[in-house]
Structure 1
């Protein structure tokens, strides 16, 4: 396994500047993750602010019960024992619970959390544990109910869990039937090529499904199988036991909701004032909390002194909302702007591992932390990888393609190669023909117009038909050329579909078990071993 660094196109200008040009956005964030002083000063502040977080023992008791069910590994229990001790810090990152763990970026986020915790422990000479925050309270079912693999005929195949009828509840509260699981599992089994690893993969997935009532539980069990031996603690944000511990935090969010909202609006103005788009909605009347009513997760807003949802299904005064919180904490849930505050109130977060979209919207929350007596943690960009097989690397070398060529210039490079193979520059020759025709036709049409004005229109239509025929001949020529070089062009297609399926980075599309099927379960640990240290640079892994 060889590892080389190469840049990957960014989906966020703000996150790109945070990673590569921090001085340009320092005002929006504060701490620079690259500076050693940021880590030591953050650790010192966490020591001083122990009382601002929930009781460690109560938190660990809750996490122990959850991990006993889904992530029962000796090393995880060691991590929990450490977390219970005052002075232990945590590296935290999270993701929604996707089908069969979802795309590769979930695994890369977990890898980053584990590696960053190990490095921070060595750097600070004190215990640091890795924690994965499963965003089970999210309710966007369509975002988590599917995953993708590549088929032998180079198609990107979607595996989808059947839709769930009923209200829009949190993913962790949506019950799934054996029939729903079996249909998705059978579809995956039909798409994965036979390999030495396939029986073990399918057995693991079937076991996780049989032992899980919902997508989040299965997600946790699979993450536990992949990362439990690395000491990764799992947390589900929809855990009812956890929600009870969060009551005091929700109280502060409700009592100081107006002040929090003002900080979000000021931050949003700063961000857009610097020319960056907002990655999360910020409204003047937003309460940034969800209330679960009859299974529906309703986003609350403030209207005429009350907390209500957009459709007016529920409405509470502040006092009534606080009473609801006391009596029914399980009905409350965070949104993207209050979740960072909740994470900070629960755990001694040394740093939080984030994707680029998350880095962008966390900028909105910077000034909200002090309202609750907190500070924004260090934001550590998730490590990013592209897996390249030996065969794929040979194809790229044969065609003289770099990773950047595939990423930015693929179609042009493909057509240039095809033209060179044919010894014919199709595009310029046909363009030259079209241009010559128009130069000859235009004077002729003008002269015909002196005979009869109606001939101008007829001439234009005639010219357009001839140009259409030239374009038709051009398409047929390209098709014939592609047919002649069909085998080589399939190699070109394999390069692109492997690295940028659907035009997106590989890590955002393909499922982890597609690669485990090909390279065995050991490839995840191999990547961790091949990374001598954390880096924010995108890395090409030559398998």
Structure 2
């Protein structure tokens, strides 16, 4: 059940940029297209309709059916793919790396957000169709970011040699990981399903892209999720004009640098998530994904002997577009070129780099999608919820950093008043009188009065800290229970969703886990959700 919602700002885990976006700070308006609300999707529909043609839809549908030919897809998913042929069908997209066994929990929350938003838009705009899409980041090459997941405080890791795009990485050797994970899961109906799911995904498929497609489809096929691998020749042929723009005009470099400077001018605390290079395209072949650079009058692939003149690289691009891979700057544009997309759903870090891209999209005349912060969730088990109630810990308290959390709770449960605020106020009042007296007699005493005030206030603060420390010892049992409970809910003092794998909750709740998320999560909420399962 849904327990509560807390504003993202009050959790303390989201940047000022994201909080200002959610608050619709007018200073940010030039960095995005439309704010995420149901009404604005009507305008987004009109704009995208004029920028996405029938041929692009035909290529997209053909490619998806080809990618699904060996997938046990649901009738709803296949229907969604077919509907993409129609000019009245649009996508709601989220993307994620090919993390081993989905990685952290927010993999699920991203996709649930896309599914629920598609359903909500269908209610509001019944003449249109909306398809939830999961964009597999098959062209990434940061293997160390995806080769593990956390289960009950243990890191389940895949150690193997890697190179090139991770989607093409062989699943050979994952049987050892499976054996280790199976032991950790133990017996039980839900454990057996998780073992079967892992085995079918990773031991029965040859590469990481196929394994991840199988896994995401098994988890979400009942909801019509469409999974796309954009590392595809037919799709990349449509991106050729934009790659040429990147190679020969360095458009993204110029636009993103200018936008980043403007963001910093709005607020110096805003994170600059990505730094553009002059050319934001990689070259990929089997086992290789390296940056393309322009040096000494020729185009080169770093750490290789490959090079081309301008005419030669244009020929290479036209003949082999599949070898040109967008990086973090150009990938969002590629997505919007090949999909009839209305919105992108991502985490705070992802949206931060999207804000750097608006002027780039304008320059190349591609509609900028509506940006939506994915759902965030803290899941409490029945046992944890009862402990929170017994210890009188509020849903807001649990989000405090651990030191502030324990100090607050010790003050609340202590039989002694540890808050010296009234004494400090009385002391400051006394010194106001001393300041007035010093001004009337000898102003040279003002410095001495100030020094004495600072000394006595520090003395009170020191006494307060000593008393608090003593009470922590007296209440050690309760302090330990509160600390242990917060550590369970916030592993490594970080958000649960950024650490824990879904299997830990599936082990207890089984096939009800995802339906419960679908039932309770609102994709357009401005709050962090707390669920009891």
Deviation string, structure 1 residues 391-440 (Cα, Å, up to 9, x no partner): 11111122221233222143344366669989799999xxxxxxxxxxxx
Distance in 2 separating the partners of 1:320 and 1:197: 56
Deviation string, structure 1 residues 125-154 (Cα, Å, up to 9, x no partner): 21111111011100000000011122xxxx
Match of 1:40 in 2: 42
Structure 1 residue matching 2:356: 3-state secondary structure: helix
Alpha-carbon RMSD:
2.9
Distance in 2 separating the partners of 1:145 and 1:481: 44
Structure 2 unaligned blocks of 5 or more: 421-465
Please identify runs of 4+ aligned residues in structure 1 that moved more than 4 A.
309-313, 415-428, 476-482
Distance in 2 separating the partners of 1:492 and 1:368: 49
Change (3 A) 1:493 1:221: farther
Deviation string, structure 1 residues 324-372 (Cα, Å, up to 9, x no partner): 2223323211111101111111011111112111111011111111333
Change (3 A) 1:539 1:426: closer
Change (3 A) 1:416 1:533: closer
Instruction: Decide whether the 8 Å contact of 2:299 with 2:308 is kept in 1.
Output: yes
Change (3 A) 1:217 1:87: same
Match of 2:390 in 1: 398
Matches within 5 A, 1:95-494: 95-125=96-126, 126-150=128-152, 156-165=153-162, 168-177=163-172, 180-192=173-185, 194-240=187-233, 242-244=235-237, 246-255=239-248, 257-274=249-266, 275=268, 276-283=270-277, 286-292=278-284, 295-309=287-301, 313-414=305-406, 485=477, 491-494=481-484
Instruction: Decide whether the 8 Å contact of 1:54 with 1:345 is kept in 2.
Output: no
Cα displacement (A) at 1:301: 3.0
Distance in 2 separating the partners of 1:480 and 1:79: 61
Q: Structure 1 stretch 304-313 or stretch 1-10: which is displaced more?
A: 304-313
Instruction: Decide whether the 8 Å contact of 1:306 with 1:315 is kept in 2.
Output: yes
Structure 2 residue matching 1:182: 3-state secondary structure: helix
Match of 1:542 in 2: 532
Change (3 A) 1:375 1:65: same
Cα displacement (A) at 1:243: 3.7
Structure 1 residue matching 2:525: 3-state secondary structure: coil
Cα displacement (A) at 1:74: 1.2
Distance in 2 separating the partners of 1:382 and 1:421: 37
Distance in 2 separating the partners of 1:299 and 1:533: 36
Cα displacement (A) at 1:169: 0.6
Cα displacement (A) at 1:123: 1.6
Instruction: Decide whether the 8 Å contact of 2:90 with 2:342 is kept in 1.
Output: yes
Structure 1 unaligned blocks of 5 or more: 151-155, 429-472
Change (3 A) 1:48 1:402: same
Q: Structure 1 stretch 96-105 or stretch 215-224: which is displaced more?
A: 215-224
